Structure 1
Amino acid sequence: MSILIPINHSEILKIYKETDQFTHKGIQGHAMIIGGSYGKIGSISLASKACLKTGCGLVTVFIPKCGYTSIQTSNPEVMVLTDEDEEVISEIHFEIKPQAVGIGPGLGQSDKSHNALQLFLKTYKIPMVIDADALNIISKFKKLLIHVEPKTIITPHPKELQLLIGSWISEKDKLNKSISFSKEHQLIIVMKGSPSRVIDGETVYENTTGNAALATAGSGDVLTGMITSLLAQLYSPLHAALIGVYLHGLTADIALPETGCQSFIASDIIAHIGKAFLSLEKEQKIN
Structure 2
Amino acid sequence: MDNYKTQLLTTSNIKTLLKPRDFSANKGDYGHSLLIAGGMGKMGAAVIAARACLRSGTGLLTVCVPKSERSILQTAIPEAMISFREDNTDFSNISAVGIGPGIGLGKGTGKTLKNLLKHFNGAVLLDADALNLLAANHKLFKKLPKVTVITPHPKEFDSLFGSHASEEERRNAAIDLAIKLELVIVLKGHQTLVTTAGCSFLSTAGNAGLAKGGSGDALTGIITALLAQGYESFVAAKIGVYLHGLAADIALVEQSMESMLIDDVIACLGEAFKQTMA
Normalising by structure 2, report the TM-score: 0.96
**Which one of the candidate residues 4, 7, 29 is aligned to 1:5?**
7
Offset at residue 126 of structure 1 (A): 1.6
Secondary structure of 1:46's counterpart equals helix
For 2:217 and 2:188, the matched residues in 1 are separated by 12
For 1:251 and 1:10, the matched residues in 2 are separated by 16
Single out whichever of 1-10 and 222-231 deviates more from structure 2.
1-10
Distance of aligned partners of 1:95 and 1:281 in 2 relative to their CA distance in 1, 3 Å threshold = closer
For 1:94 and 1:67, the matched residues in 2 are separated by 20
For 1:83 and 1:231, the matched residues in 2 are separated by 22
Secondary structure of 2:252's counterpart equals helix
2:263 partner letter: S
**Which one of the candidate residues 25, 28, 33 is aligned to 1:26?**
28
For 1:38 and 1:253, the matched residues in 2 are separated by 32
For 1:26 and 1:276, the matched residues in 2 are separated by 24
Q: Detail structure 1 runs of 4+ shifted over 6 Å in the superposition.
A: none
Is residue 2:223 matched to residue 1:221? no
**Which one of the candidate residues 51, 54, 58 is aligned to 2:56?**
54
Preserved contact between residue 92 and residue 116 of structure 1 (Cα < 8 Å): no
Secondary structure of 2:82's counterpart equals strand
* Structure 1 stretches lacking a partner, 5+ long: 85-90, 283-287
Preserved contact between residue 7 and residue 207 of structure 1 (Cα < 8 Å): yes
Root mean square deviation, CA, Å: 1.2
* Structure 2 stretches lacking a partner, 5+ long: none
Preserved contact between residue 49 and residue 270 of structure 1 (Cα < 8 Å): yes
For 2:13 and 2:127, the matched residues in 1 are separated by 25
Secondary structure of 2:253's counterpart equals helix
Preserved contact between residue 34 and residue 96 of structure 2 (Cα < 8 Å): yes
1:94 matched to which residue of 2? 90
For 2:62 and 2:168, the matched residues in 1 are separated by 40
- For residues 182-201 of structure 1, the C-alpha deviation after alignment (integer angstroms, 9 at most, x for no partner) is 11210000110001110113
1:75 partner letter: I
Preserved contact between residue 165 and residue 178 of structure 1 (Cα < 8 Å): no
Offset at residue 57 of structure 1 (A): 1.1
1:79 matched to which residue of 2? 81
2:82 partner letter: V
For 1:264 and 1:66, the matched residues in 2 are separated by 31
Secondary structure of 2:185's counterpart equals strand
Is residue 2:221 matched to residue 1:250? no
2:259 partner letter: S
For 2:156 and 2:74, the matched residues in 1 are separated by 30
2:124 matched to which residue of 1? 128
